[in-house]
Every structure is written in structure tokens, then in C-alpha cells.
Amino acid sequence: MRAHLYAACAILLLARVATAQQKTTLDVEMEFRAAQQKELVDGDLRGAIEKYRAVVSQAGSNRAIAAKALVRMAECYQKQGDTEARRLFERVIREYPEQQEAVALAQARLKGSPRTPVDSGAVVRKVWAGDILGTISGDGRRLSFTDWSSGNVAVHDFASGTDRTLTGNKPGSGARNAFAEESAVSKDGKQVAYTWYDDNARRYELRIVNVESGSTNPPRLLFHNQDQTWIAPWDWSPDGKWLAVTASRKDLTTQLGLVSTVDGSFRVLKSTGWSGPGKVFFSPNGKYLAFDAPATDTTVQHDIFVLAVDGSREVPAVVHPSDDLLMGWSPGGTHLLFASDRSGSFGLWALAFDDGKTRGAPFLIKSSIESNWSMGVTRDGALYLGTSTGNTNVVVASVDLTTGKELAPSAQPIQQFVGSNASPDWSPDGKQIAFIATREPRPRNRAQVVGIWSRETGTVRENARLPYVNSVKWNPDGRSLLLGGKDSKGRSGIFLADAQSGAVTPVALTSLENFVGHFPQWSPDGKKIFYRMPSMDGSGGSTFIERDVATGREREVSRGALGRISVSPDGEWIATITVDSSTKASSLILIPIKGGDSRTVLRVAAPQLLGVLTATWTRDGRALIVNKASPPSVNELWVVPIDGGAPRKLDVAFPGRTAISLHPDGRQLAFNTAVERKTEVWVLEGVLSSLASKP
Amino acid sequence: MIRLLIGLAIVIPLGLDLYLPIPEDNALTAAKVRLGRDLFRNAILSRDRTLACASCHDPRRAFTDGRSLAVGVDGKVGTRNAPTLINRVYGRSQFWDGRAHSLEQQVLEPIENPRELGAGVDTAVRRLVSSPLYRLRFRVAFGRDVNAQDLARALASYVRTILGGDSPFDRYANGIANALSDEARSGLEIFRGKAGCSTCHSGPTMSDERFHNTSVAWQGGEWKDLGRFLVTGAAQDRGAFKTPTLREVDRTAPYMHDGSLSTLDAVIDYYDRGGNPAPSRDADLKPLGLTADEKRQLIAFLRSLTGMVREGGF
């Protein structure tokens, strides 16, 4: 018996030691990420150096992270012009010889790469402020783009500094009923292939338009397929006869293929999971397609592959735990170019490619790169980059809901992932805010992260990660988060994330390919969730569903033109905004969850409207906070008593088009600033010319 | 339909990817494929020379055998249903439990398994060595004497040429709107919508190549077959099996890893009721509430997956 007891104690002890070790490793990795945030997001080099130093001292047996931290620390010193950088690079080479990547980076910094001196001769400059969904012509003169003010596809001519519109939407009409998305200009700059969305037909098409003749030669429908939900051209073959495309199918898989520019025939080269390939570029000799894609259908990180255009073979060119994103081919096709975060931040790397095979190991040619979104490489080796900068942040406003007076100036407390934070939700104890951070600088998001900001420490920890998240709500017990979004298979659904570990489990998957507006909410007791489903009766409306968490049993609560769900504190009502399709009047209504007729609390006649994302209950359940808007620019917050009392305006600057979360103290409102992204085109010159010769 | 030259003419049916994942060390050649095709049909690989690979993977039955469980030499009954071999070139792993990472690894197991062909690979190789004709053919195909690895390469090469596509569904998906009947089109909507079949049965092979516990193996309060767990040892893999292709599904009855459901109606009824209650059952399984009309439409769609099966490269 005693022996058993000793054994049990030993097992427990071992388990605790193992847990402690695991936690230490996790802590060090989190510390490393925090250091990166300080360096790369906050630009605080001194603070970053201290954090990297802490990582090195705590790394223990994790020599890989210690070496990486030393390299990053050295880079911080180097940016400050401090000679300490050299000493640290030398230390990495001397003390961490088995850490090949860190050593390679350190050597590159000290001596320069044997092929290309890192960063030497590199010139990066901004060349244009505009859309980044197009590509550059071979001579670097023309760039295709979408003019989002009209939805037209156009080309920007760098020689003349002028834009030429190629499609017929009215100027300033906005991208509403029909518009272009991705585009690719031919190598000779004479034609543009582009994605065209036609809202009447509800379909995406692949079209081609002649740049020179413009209006005299109208766009040509090249291809569309009833089984595809989206198609995009990425590159032209050098002879102009083929387009490299990716297409999303209705079964949520993706096809990488070629479309003939002559007859519009489509060849599917390879099918992948939902997230599919990222960028695709023809090799300069036209024999290969290079593309980046997730290594597996459950990972976010991309690797680089090269596929023969005749389908005869595929080469896994860059397979590495880091995120590797295709940037293109060097002039002459001697090297693959890719952005990789293997050194801690995204740098530009090259890998020799010859006779259908990769040669040697990748090497760094520029230590940091402005963007990992390539718009193509010109014949003389200029790499065009698209940057996308967000300006969306979480705002906390303090206001007395009774008087409507602001109690303190609004603040933006979350200082990590600045510019990409949205959809805040206060935790039940009011000590944390969960929010959604868009971590992917590419135009098409590949990953969104749920962050949790601590009021006590001011820090953010990353929680769950999904390809797409658009709503996050704390469970009333504070232990988990309810997410609306998409899983790695592209299925819309409702997910549960553990508030500590971030582990995600699906609650309900709806398999709806393009629907993301479930806006799931908890019942106050945490036993039920409510979510929104589009009605299947063709009415265009939606249905509110109640789901029992324990049994999975569901029932319909209400249907109609319903907006976001807001459950009352007593669990008796759902508040939502509904819009009358004929009069366009919007109403704040209360729907009894247990059944019965809904009642209208507030009705606003067009052109005024109530923001469909708002309708937030006050803590006492006697009123709702709603956004009353007078388009195009006036947005106000009002407190609307449900007993018919007079609504009162809040003295808070509110941007509109965002949900609101009310702190448990009933005074602090959290919401996000308007979702805006600024896109620019940059060019990197002077680093690829030395790659032109055969390796 | 695209004719592709990779050492031999391969016709890739409509609906499939042009790129065939073929290992660098076993390039597809006409000599290997023809050799593999003959071996596939030859009882020389079974212990008592009564069975061939084609006995359980009958080309006339879309490379299945019509039985619930495969029957090997001496009438020994196996533990699982013989799966179709259609489009296995695109597969990420082989067997119901995915224990083989390549077709080269997969094709030798039945020769070794006493409940299948049971000759043993060594015996099979000795028999082939003793045949002047096969010695010659191996030399032509591989430039060397018969050995186990080349036996696997020849069989795998042949299996890689078994391709199924060009079905009414493929024609519909490629723009021929009337290739599907109204009923089948409605069935496709249900397949991708209300029934959620395409959650797992998607892409050109109509399979996500993942492993799912659809609770079929949970019978009488216990696991009759642990499935993927036997390979990974991971608790969540108990009772999980690889998603089978649905191509030619109307010709590959009976269904499931144990052949326990004899008709498509039975399969649809099974999923309509949400499967059986079982531990760690796949979260996607839930009662579907399909009407009789919807079930009929779903079956019409599944029958539209019957197309053209090509093998041997031509």
C-alpha cells in the first residue's frame, strides 16, 4: 500500500515538474513574442533588447529560441548603431553552432552573404498610394488596380503618372453592384485580366480587357463556372496564352489552374483545401508555376511549391516551420524569391532553382521587408510590394448613462497590434477585454487572432486563432469565449475558445460558404446560446436560433429581417434592429425568447437609421444603447428606455458600424474606431540584379 | 478529358487534377503499368494461387467485391470492407486507417496478410523469379532482377492509373447545366447544404482524406474496430476511419468500413438519424431531418457520380 502511495506521489511530482517545464517553455516563447512586439510593432528598441535579454537568460535548454533572441537583440543594437551588435553576432556563431539559421543570419550580418551582401545596395521607396490587388508589367511601367471609388479596373502608368480606367462603371458610383477585385497585367502591359463580380447574376467572372484600345474594345468574358464561388488571376504566362488562376468551389475546396486566354478553357492543375494557394507566379520560361500554400489544411503557415505547368511534377521547394510566402522569381528564373519570418521578422530570401529543381539552401538577401505581398518582379529585377496598414483600434469611453455626460476622455488602451483591433467585449469581471486582431497584412486575411487585454497589466495575450473571426463574447463564467467565424475548412460556424489555453472547439457548423453573420450570444446563465441563420425560405431574412449547450438541441425563436442579437440580462428578451424592406425604416424591437409577439421600442424613418450592430442592454435591463445614424457621417449613441421613456443622447464620439460592449460598472463603453485600411505600392530595387546569373 | 504524357499516355478524366502525385523514385512508365496490371490480375501472388488483387478489387465492380467483408485464401473472412481503388493516386494515405503512407507500402500488405492473399512477399518474389516471362518483364520495366521493392513499384504504378471521373456531376460542374437532372441538382444542394455531406466528401476525389469517427464501429457498447487509433494511439482516433471517395458510389455497395450498410438508402438513413451514439463521435454528426423527397434527391445526386473509370493508362 505504502509503495503504491510513494509511486502515486512520484507520478504526481513528475507530472508537476513536467507541467512546470512546459509552462516555462511556453512562457519563454510568449516573452519572445512580446519582445518582437516591442521591437517591430512598438518600435521600442531599448525595451525590446531588455526583453530579448530576458529570453536568453530564461531559455534554459531551448537553445533555438536563445539563439534567435540573440540575433534579434543584435539587430536592435545594429539599428541603434551600437557596436554591441557585432559582439552578439559573434557570440551566436561561437556558442550556438548547431542553430544553423541563427548562425547564417549572424554570419550574413558580419560578413555579408557569399552570394549577395545582405541589404547592400537595396533601395526601397514608395511609388504610389492606391489599391494593391494588381500586378506590375514586365517593364515596370504599368500597374493594374481596382479603383474602389467606382469598382472599375484600371492601370496606373508610372511613366506618365496617369491612371486609365478600363471598365464602364460610373465614376464615384462605388463598388456596389458590379466591380473588379484581383487583376493581373500581361507581361507586355497591353492587357489586363481581372476578377469581376456581378451582383445581379451573383457570380464572379474572369475577364480580359485591352489596355491600349480601352473603350473601343470592350472587356471580354473569358471564364466563369457555376460551381465556383470566386476566381482570381495572379499572373500571365510569358507568351500571354495562359493565366494562372485560383478558384474557390462551392464544396469549399480551392483549385489552382490555368485558363487559356485564347479560348477560355480551364485546366485544373491541383486541388487544395479551403484556404488554398496565396500568390502564384509563372517562371520566366513559362514552364513552372510557383505558389505558396498552407503546408497542411490545418496549419496557417505557408510553404512554397513549384508545379510544372504540364502537371508532370511538383517540387516542395521551401518547406519550413516558419511562414514562407512567395514573392516571385528573379529575372532569368534562376531563383525563387520568398518572404519568410524564420529570422523573427519578415525578410526577403532567395533559393536557387535550376532545371526543375531547387539547389542548395535558401539565403537571406534583405533582412526586413516592407510587406510580404508581392505585386511582381520586373525584367530588370525591381520587386513591387503592396502594403496595407490598418487604423482600427479599440476605444473605451466613460459615460454616465443617466445624464449622458462623458466622465473622462475616450482612450485607446490596447497598445499591441495597433491598427488592427476590433470587436471588443468586456469580461464579466470587467478586468479584461477580448477583441479580434487581424494579424495578416495581406489583403486576404489568412488568420485572425483573439487577443485578451488585461486592465491590470496593460498587456495582451494571444488566445484563439481561426482563419476568420467576426465576433467574440465572454461566457458569463469568464472561462471561455464564444466566437463566430470560419474554421480551417472554410465552414461558417460558432466556436468555443478556452479563455486560458485558446483551444477551439466547434459548437455548431453551418457549412454556409459565404455567411459570417451568426453573431452568437450567451444566455445569462451560460446554458444556451443564440445565433442568427439566414432563412432557407428564400425571403432573404434570417432566423434566430436557440441552442442548448449541453444537449445541442435547437429551436427557432424568431424570423424576419433581423440584425445582431442582444440578450437581456434577465434572459427574457432578445433585442435587435430590424429594417422594413419597403419603407427602409429601422426599428429597435424586443423579441420574447419564450414566445409571443415582439414589440417595437424605437422606430426611425429613413434616411435616418439604427445601426444593426448596436442594441446593447444596460446593466439593469431597463434600456438599450443604440446607434442612430444620419448618413453619411453623423453617428450618435442613444439610451432608449424599454418602458417607453424618452430616449437620451450620450455625449460620446461614436464612429458607427461597430458593436458596443458595456463594462459591468455600467459606465464604460468599449467599441472600435471605423475600419479603415490604407494601401500603398512600394518598390524594392538593387538587390535582385546579382541573382540574374545562373547559380 | 486531358491526355497527359508521363512516359505513357494517361487519360485524366474530367473532374480530376492534371497533376498526379507520383514519387520521384517510381516514375510512371508504360512497362511498369502493364506489368503491374498483369500482376494485379494474377493469382500467383496468393498462397494457394486462387486469388488475385482483382478478386477483391474487381474492375467490373468499380474495384470493389460486393461483399461486406473481404474474403481471402481458404475462405478466411477479413475484418474490413474492400475499398475501391479509384483515384488512390491522389490519396494522402492508404487503407481505411491510413496506416500506409504510399501505394508502394500498401500493395505488399495484402500479399503478406494471411486473411488476404497470404503468400508472403518472399514467396511471391520466388515465384516470379521462377517465371522466365516475369523475369524478363521486370528486367524491361526496372532493368534488374525481380525483387520485392520492384513488385511494389509495379503494382503501385498500375493502381495510380485507376482513375474515375467524367460523371454527369463533373460535366455539370464544368458548365454543362443540363448534365444533371433537376432531382440530382436538388440533391447536390442538399449534399452541400442541409445534409452537410461535402464537409468530408469534397474536392476531385470526393474525400477530405481525413479520419472521422462516424460511430459505425461502436456496437453493443464497445468498439468493434478501433480504426485510426491502431495507427496513432491517440484517444480521439478511436473508431475513426478515412473518408472514402464517393465516386462510383452507386457501384460500390455495401458501404462503411465494415460493409454494414447494404444500400445508399441505408447510408442516408444512418446519417439522417445522426449516426449511433458513441464516445468522441465526430462533432459534425447530428440528426438531419431529411424528408423522403430530399433523400430521394440525394440518392439521385449520388448516382450522378457514376462516370468513367479508366485503368492501365488508356
In a domain, B233, yes or no: yes
In this structure, what CATH number is given to the domain that contains residue A604? 2.120.10.30
Specify burial of residue A351 (Cβ count, 10 A radius: 0-12, 13-18, 19+). buried
Q: A242 to chain B: which residues are within 8 Å by CB?
A: none
Task: Looking at the structure, tell me whether residues B109 and B193 fall in a common domain.
Answer: no
Q: What one-character DSSP code corresponds to residue A130? A: S
So what's the pLDDT on residue A378? Answer: 96
Mean pLDDT of A465-492: 89
**Among the partner residues A251, A268, A489, nearest to B18 by beta-carbon distance:** A268
pLDDT tens-place string over residues A328-341:
999 999 999 999 98
Give the mutation candidate from B4, B202, B205, B246 for the A interface (greatest A CB count, under 10 A).
Answer: B202
- In this structure, what C-alpha cell is assigned to residue B61? 465492380
pLDDT tens-place string over residues A664-676:
999 999 999 877 7
Q: Which residue has the higher pLDDT, B1 or A127?
A: A127
Among candidate residues B244, B247, B268, the one with its CA nearest the CA of residue B256:
B244
Q: Which residue has the higher pLDDT, A506 or A590?
A: A590
Place of cell 504510399: B102
Final residue belonging to a domain, choices B163, B181, B210: B163
Task: Looking at the structure, tell me whether residues B7 and B156 fall in a common domain.
Answer: yes
Domain extent for A243: 123-390+679-691
Q: Whole-angstrom Cα distance, residue A271 to residue A593? A: 45
Q: Is the distance from CB of A422 to CB of A392 less than 8 angstroms?
A: yes
What's the domain count of chain B? 2
In a domain, A269, yes or no: yes
- Is the torsion defined by CA of B48, B53, B56, B59 positive or negative? negative
Among candidate residues B138, B204, B158, the one with its CA nearest the CA of residue B8:
B158
In a domain, A88, yes or no: yes
Number of Cβ within 10 Å of residue B148's Cβ equals 14
Q: Cβ of B2 under 8 Å from any chain A Cβ?
A: yes
Task: Looking at the structure, tell me whether residues B116 and B131 fall in a common domain.
Answer: yes
Task: Looking at the structure, tell me whether residues A144 and A35 fall in a common domain.
Answer: no
pLDDT tens-place string over residues A421-466:
999 999 999 999 999 988 665 555 457 889 999 999 999 998 998 8
Final residue belonging to a domain, choices B125, B142, B163: B163
The CB-side HSE value for A612 (13 A sphere, CA atoms) comes to 13
In a domain, B237, yes or no: yes
Q: Whole-angstrom Cα distance, residue A577 to residue A590? A: 9
- Picking from A526-530, A691-695, B99-103, which range would have the lowest pLDDT averaged per residue? A691-695
Final residue belonging to a domain, choices B163, B180, B209: B163
Query: What are the DSSP calls for A431-475, one per residue?
Result: SEEEEEEE---SSS---EEEEEEETTT--EEEEEEESEEEEEEE-
- In this structure, what C-alpha cell is assigned to residue A354? 535550376
| Assembly ipTM | 0.92
Q: Which amino acid is at A52?
A: Y
**Among the partner residues B20, B192, B194, nearest to A250 by beta-carbon distance:** B192
Q: Cβ of B169 under 8 Å from any chain A Cβ?
A: no
Collect all residues with Cβ–Cβ distance below 8 Å to A303 and sequence separation of at least 6. Answer: A292, A293, A294, A295, A316, A317, A318, A319, A320, A324
Q: What one-character DSSP code corresponds to residue A12? A: H
So what's the pLDDT on residue A298? Answer: 72
So what's the pLDDT on residue A482? Answer: 95
Collect all residues with Cβ–Cβ distance below 8 Å to A559 and sequence separation of at least 6. Answer: A535, A541, A542, A543, A544
Does the pLDDT at position A512 exceed 70?
Answer: no
Task: Looking at the structure, tell me whether residues B277 and B133 fall in a common domain.
Answer: no
In a domain, A510, yes or no: yes
Specify burial of residue A619 (Cβ count, 10 A radius: 0-12, 13-18, 19+). middle
Which parts of chain B fold into alpha helices (H)? Answer: 30-41, 53-56, 103-112, 121-129, 132-142, 148-160, 168-173, 182-192, 229-232, 264-272, 292-303
Task: Looking at the structure, tell me whether residues A583 and A661 fall in a common domain.
Answer: yes
- Share of residues in chain A with pLDDT > 90 (%): 57
Task: Looking at the structure, tell me whether residues B21 and B154 fall in a common domain.
Answer: yes
Task: Looking at the structure, tell me whether residues B205 and B74 fall in a common domain.
Answer: no
* B28: nearest CA partner in chain A: A312
Task: Looking at the structure, tell me whether residues A539 and A446 fall in a common domain.
Answer: yes
In a domain, A267, yes or no: yes
Collect all residues with Cβ–Cβ distance below 8 Å to A480 and sequence separation of at least 6. Answer: A474, A496, A497, A498, A499
Q: How far is A476 from chain B (nearest CA, A)?
A: 24
Determine, for residues A226 and B177 on separate chains, whether the beta-carbon distance falls below 8 Å: yes
Task: Looking at the structure, tell me whether residues A386 and A398 fall in a common domain.
Answer: no
Q: A251 to chain B: which residues are within 8 Å by CB?
A: 192, 198, 202-203
Determine, for residues A270 and B19 on separate chains, whether the beta-carbon distance falls below 8 Å: yes
Q: Cβ of B79 under 8 Å from any chain A Cβ?
A: no
Q: Whole-angstrom Cα distance, residue A356 to residue A315? A: 8
Does the pLDDT at position A216 exceed 60?
Answer: yes
Specify burial of residue A7 (Cβ count, 10 A radius: 0-12, 13-18, 19+). exposed
- Give B 255-314 residues with CB within 8 A of chain A: 283-284, 286
Does the pLDDT at position A515 exceed 70?
Answer: no
- Number of Cβ pairs closer than 8 Å across A and B? 72
Final residue belonging to a domain, choices A111, A142, A170: A111
What's the domain count of chain A? 3
So what's the pLDDT on residue A442? Answer: 52
Task: Looking at the structure, tell me whether residues A244 and A312 fall in a common domain.
Answer: yes
In a domain, B313, yes or no: no
Q: Which residue has the higher pLDDT, A510 or A518?
A: A518
Give the mutation candidate from A271, A314, A512 for the B interface (greatest B CB count, under 10 A).
Answer: A271
In this structure, what CATH number is given to the domain that contains residue A211? 2.130.10.10
- Banded pLDDT at A516 (limits 50, 70, 90): low
Specify burial of residue B181 (Cβ count, 10 A radius: 0-12, 13-18, 19+). middle
Among candidate residues A618, A558, A626, A639, the one with its CA nearest the CA of residue A588:
A626
Q: How far are the Cα atoms of A331, A354, B49 from residue A361, in angstroms, in the given order?
A: 19, 13, 52
Q: Is the distance from CB of B117 to CB of B72 less than 8 angstroms?
A: yes
Q: Whole-angstrom Cα distance, residue A430 to residue A663? A: 6
Does the pLDDT at position A32 exceed 80?
Answer: yes
Q: Is the distance from CB of B95 to CB of B57 less than 8 angstroms?
A: no
In a domain, B204, yes or no: yes
Task: Looking at the structure, tell me whether residues B29 and B148 fall in a common domain.
Answer: yes
So what's the pLDDT on residue A5? Answer: 39
Final residue belonging to a domain, choices A63, A82, A111: A111
User: For chain A, what is the mean pLDDT?
Assistant: 87
Task: Looking at the structure, tell me whether residues A96 and A149 fall in a common domain.
Answer: no
Number of Cβ within 10 Å of residue A541's Cβ equals 15
Buried-exposed string A583-598: b where 16+ CB fall within 10 A, e elsewhere: eebbbbbbbebeeeeb
* B287: nearest CA partner in chain A: A553
- Share of residues in chain A with pLDDT > 70 (%): 90
- Banded pLDDT at A126 (limits 50, 70, 90): very high
Q: B202 to chain A: which residues are within 8 Å by CB?
A: 249, 251-253
- Give A 472-501 residues with CB within 8 A of chain B: 489, 491
Task: Looking at the structure, tell me whether residues B61 and B149 fall in a common domain.
Answer: yes
Q: Whole-angstrom Cα distance, residue A307 to residue A282? A: 10
pLDDT tens-place string over residues A153-162:
999 999 999 9
Q: Cβ of B148 under 8 Å from any chain A Cβ?
A: no
pTM here is 0.82
- In this structure, what C-alpha cell is assigned to residue A291? 505558389
* A306: nearest CA partner in chain B: B19
Torsion of CA A126, A128, A130, A131, to 10 degrees: -70
Among candidate residues A46, A63, A62, the one with its CA nearest the CA of residue A103:
A63
In a domain, A62, yes or no: yes
Q: Which residue has the higher pLDDT, A612 or A314?
A: A314
So what's the pLDDT on residue B211? Answer: 96
Q: Cβ of A356 under 8 Å from any chain B Cβ?
A: no
In a domain, A116, yes or no: no
Task: Looking at the structure, tell me whether residues B16 and B154 fall in a common domain.
Answer: yes
Does the pLDDT at position A540 exceed 80?
Answer: no
In this structure, what CATH number is given to the domain that contains residue B205? 1.10.760.10
Task: Looking at the structure, tell me whether residues B198 and B66 fall in a common domain.
Answer: no
Rounded to 10°, the helix A2-36/A45-58 angle is 160
**Among the partner residues A249, A273, A511, nearest to B193 by beta-carbon distance:** A511
pLDDT tens-place string over residues A580-597:
888 999 999 999 999 999
So what's the pLDDT on residue A693? Answer: 54
Q: How far are the Cα atoms of A68, A108, A254, A324, A517 from residue A101, in angstroms, in the given order?
A: 9, 10, 33, 14, 43
Domain extent for B264: 166-307
Task: Looking at the structure, tell me whether residues B181 and B130 fall in a common domain.
Answer: no
Task: Looking at the structure, tell me whether residues A99 and A130 fall in a common domain.
Answer: no
Q: Is the distance from CB of B304 to CB of B169 less than 8 angstroms?
A: yes
Does the pLDDT at position A3 exceed 60?
Answer: no
In a domain, A118, yes or no: no
Largest CA-CA distance found in chain B, in angstroms, rounded = 62
Task: Looking at the structure, tell me whether residues A561 and A475 fall in a common domain.
Answer: yes
Q: Whole-angstrom Cα distance, residue B104 to residue B106? A: 6
Among candidate residues B1, B30, B36, the one with its CA nearest the CA of residue B15:
B1
Number of Cβ within 10 Å of residue B8's Cβ equals 18
Determine, for residues A253 and B173 on separate chains, whether the beta-carbon distance falls below 8 Å: no
So what's the pLDDT on residue B207? Answer: 96
Among candidate residues B244, B305, B299, B270, the one with its CA nearest the CA of residue B64:
B244
Mean pLDDT of A619-625: 96
Q: Is the distance from CB of B290 to CB of B194 less than 8 angstroms?
A: yes
So what's the pLDDT on residue A468? Answer: 85
Q: Cβ of B222 under 8 Å from any chain A Cβ?
A: no
Give pLDDT < 70 ranges for chain B: 1-8, 314
Does the pLDDT at position A293 exceed 70?
Answer: yes
Strands of B55-96 (E only): list them.
none
Task: Looking at the structure, tell me whether residues B79 and B190 fall in a common domain.
Answer: no
In a domain, B312, yes or no: no
